[in-house]
Amino acid sequence: MSAVLIDGKRIAEEIRDELVQKVILLKQKGVIPGLAVILVGDNPASISYVTAKEKACAEIGMKSFETRMAENTSEETLLERIAECNRDPNVHGILVQLPLPRHIDEHRVIEAIDPNKDVDGFTPVNLGRMLLEQPCFIPCTPFGIIELLKRSGVPTNGARAVVVGRSNIVGKPLANLFLRKSVNATVTVCHTGTRDLGSHVREADIVVACAGAPGLVSVDMIKPGACIIDVGVNRVPDSTKKKGYRLCGDVDFEGASQIAGWITPVPGGVGPMTITMLLSNTIDAAARISNIAL
Ligand code: NAP
C-alpha cells in the first residue's frame, strides 16, 4: 500500500476531545446539550446508526432522548413528536433517522423541524443558508469530509474534485462546500446519467465516491497520487463472517490504495466523522439557543 490511510476514527477522536471541552463549558453555564433521536420502524442499519449516535452523545457528556416509533406510525403522529421536540428546552438538536417508511412524506417531516434545532442540516432553511455561506448547520457527512481533508493536509486550493453521487444529504451539499473560497476546488458532480464515469474520475485530484454502489470506482479510474474519499457503506454477502455479510465502500480499496496518495477505509473513514459532526452541530445549537459564546 503506498497511499496514506486517512484514519477517520483517529481524527474523529481528536475532534471529540475538543468537543468535550465545549460540553464542560456549557455545563458550567447550566446547559447540557441534548439531542432528540427519532427512529420510525426497525430497519437494522438504522437501528445500528441510532445506537452509535446515542452512545457517542453519552461518551462526551451530552444527553440523548430516544423515540422509537412503530413502522406503521402515521405521519401526523411523527409530526406531533417533532413539534414536542421543537418546544422542549432540553432538546437542542433533532435527528429523524432516514429513510422513513414509504407512507411518510420525508420532505414534510424534515420541514417540520425547527431550523435552529436542525443539526442534520437537511431543512430548506439550512441548505439555503449553507449556499449563501450564512450561519447554519452543515449536513454532517459533507462537513466531516471537509474536516477530514483539512486535518489530513490534503491540498484543496485549485484541486479538481469529482463527487460521484448527487443526493441531497451527501453529494449536492458536498459539491457546494468544495466551491467555497476557503476550500477552492473545481468540482464535477457525476450520477447515473453521466457518460463515461472513468473519464471524469481520472481527472480528479480528489474523488469522493458517494453512490452506494460497491466497486463503482475501479483502480483504472484513479489518477496516481489522488485523494480517495469513500463514503459508500454497502453490505456484501460474506459467508466467512458471523453476520453473513461484510461492509465495503464504493471504491476498489485494495487496488486504489496502491496508487492513490490518500485513501479512507470503510469502515473507519467517513462514518466516524459523520457522527462527530452531528455532536459538533448539536453543541453549537445548544450554545446558540442559550446565547453562550463558545
Ligand atoms: P442515494 O440517495 O442513494 O444517492 C446515490 C447517488 O449516487 C445518486 O445521485 C445516484 O445517481 C448516484 N449513483 C448511484 N449509482 C451510480 C452509478 N452506478 N454511477 C453513477 N452514479 C451513481 O445515497 P446517499 O444517501 O447519498 O448515500 C450514498 C452512499 O453513502 C450509501 O452507500 C450510504 O450508505 C453511504 N452513506 C454513508 C454515510 C457515512 O457516514 N459513512 C453517510 C451517508 C451515506 P442518480 O441521482 O442519478 O440516481
Check whether 246 has a pLDDT greater than 90. Answer: yes
Total-model pTM: 0.97
Contact, 286 vs 31, CB < 8 A? yes
CATH top class, domain 140-271: alpha beta
* Ligand 1 center from residue 4 Cα (angstroms): 25
So what's the pLDDT on residue 282? 98
R_g (Cα) of the chain, nearest Å:
19
**Mean model confidence pLDDT for the chain:** 97
Indicate the pairing of strand 234-237 with strand 245-248.
Answer: antiparallel
> Using a 6 Å cutoff on CB, does residue 23 contact ligand 1?
no
Of all residues in the chain, the percent with pLDDT exceeding 90 is 99
Return d(Cα 238, Cα 221) in angstroms, integer: 26
- Ligand 1 atom closest to residue 273's alpha carbon, by position in its atom list: 40
Check whether 53 has a pLDDT greater than 90. Answer: yes
Instruction: Write the DSSP assignment of 59-86 as a string of letters.
Output: HTT-EEEEEEE-TT--HHHHHHHHHHHH
Give buried/exposed letters for 71-83 (b at 16+ CB in 10 A, else e): eebebeebbebbe
φ, ψ for residue 73, nearest 5 deg: -55, 140
Active site residue 97: yes
Exposure of 9 by Cβ count < 10 A (0-12 exposed, 13-18 middle, 19+ buried)? Answer: middle
Active site residue 21: no
* Ligand 1 center from residue 233 Cα (angstroms): 9
138 three-state secondary structure: coil
Give tens-digit pLDDT for 25-50: 999 999 999 999 999 999 999 999 99
Can you tell me the mean pLDDT for 124-128?
Answer: 98
Active site residue 172: no
Can you tell me the mean pLDDT for 220-241?
Answer: 97
Can you tell me the mean pLDDT for 17-27?
Answer: 98
**pLDDT band at residue 153, thresholds of 50, 70 and 90?**
very high
DSSP state of 173: H
* Ligand 1 center from residue 193 Cα (angstroms): 13
So what's the pLDDT on residue 1? 74
Task: Give the residue extent of every domain in the chain.
Answer: 31-117, 140-271
Check whether 292 has a pLDDT greater than 80. Answer: yes
Return d(Cα 151, Cα 149) in angstroms, integer: 6
Give tens-digit pLDDT for 106-123: 999 999 999 999 999 999
Fold classified for 31-117: Rossmann fold (3.40.50)
> Using a 6 Å cutoff on CB, does residue 195 contact ligand 1?
no
Check whether 51 has a pLDDT greater than 80. Answer: yes
Can you tell me the mean pLDDT for 5-34?
Answer: 98
Return d(Cα 227, Cα 178) in angstroms, integer: 14
Domains 31-117 and 140-271 share a fold: yes
Check whether 4 has a pLDDT greater than 80. Answer: yes
So what's the pLDDT on residue 131? 98
Residue of 106, 210, 275 to test ligand 1 pocket, by largest number of atoms within 8 Å of CB: 210
**pLDDT band at residue 129, thresholds of 50, 70 and 90?**
very high
Q: Whose CA is nearest to atom 47 of ligand 1?
A: 192
Give tens-digit pLDDT for 171-195: 999 999 999 999 999 999 999 999 9
The three three-digit cell numbers of residue 137, written as one number: 448547520
Out of 22, 114, 118, 120, pick the active-site residue.
Answer: 120
So what's the pLDDT on residue 187? 98
Contact, 187 vs 148, CB < 8 A? no
Contact, 264 vs 148, CB < 8 A? yes
Closest CA to 185 of 198, 166, 164, 204: 204
